Amino acid sequence: MKKTLSLVTLLAAGATQAAGFQIDTHSARSTGMGNAATAILDDSSAIYSNAANILGVKKLDITVGDTGILPFMKFTPTDGEAQGQKMTLSPPPHVFVVYRPFEKAAFGLGAYTAFGARSRWEDDFVGRFKGRESSLAAYYINPTFAYQLHEYFRVGVGVDVVRTTVELKRAMNFVESEGAVHLGGSAWGVGYNVGFQAVVMPGELTVGLHYRSAVSTTYEGNADFQNIPEAFQARLLDQRVEADVQFPRTLSLGLAAVPMEKLTVAFDIQMVDWASMKELTIEFPGNPSLNNPVEKRWVAKAKFHLGAEYTLNPQLQLRGGIVADLSPSPEETLTPDLPDADRYKLSLGAGYSFGNLRADAAYQFVLLASTDSKGAGMDGTYSGTAHVLGVTLGYSL
Pairing assessment for the beta strands 133-150 and 316-325 based on DSSP bridges: unpaired
pLDDT value of residue 191: 97
pLDDT value of residue 12: 29
Number of domains in the chain: 1
Using DSSP, state whether 233 is helix, strand or coil. Answer: coil
Give me the helices (H) in the chain, please. 5-8, 28-32, 46-49
pLDDT value of residue 115: 87
CATH code at position 383: 2.40.160.60
**Structural domain that includes position 97:** 3-396
The parts of the chain modelled with pLDDT lower than 50 are: 1-19
pLDDT value of residue 8: 34
Q: CA of 125: how far to CAs of 16, 63, 74, 76, 148, in Å?
A: 19, 41, 10, 11, 55
pLDDT value of residue 233: 84
pLDDT value of residue 339: 65
pLDDT value of residue 338: 63
- In terms of Cα–Cα distance, which of 47, 114, 36, 15 is closest to 349? 36
Mean residue pLDDT of the chain comes to 85
Q: In Å, how far from its chain's centre is CA 212? A: 13
Q: Phi/psi zone of residue 35: left (φ > 0), alpha (ψ -120 to 50 degrees), beta?
A: left
Q: How many CB atoms lie within 10 A of CB 302?
A: 13
pLDDT value of residue 377: 65
Tens-digit pLDDT profile for residues 74-131:
878 777 788 777 767 777 899 999 999 999 999 999 999 998 877 777 777 777 776 6
Tens-digit pLDDT profile for residues 266-299:
999 999 988 776 666 678 888 887 776 666 777 7
The DSSP annotation for 364-376 comes to EEEEEEEEEE--T
Using DSSP, state whether 292 is helix, strand or coil. Answer: coil
- In terms of Cα–Cα distance, which of 63, 40, 23 is closest to 353? 63
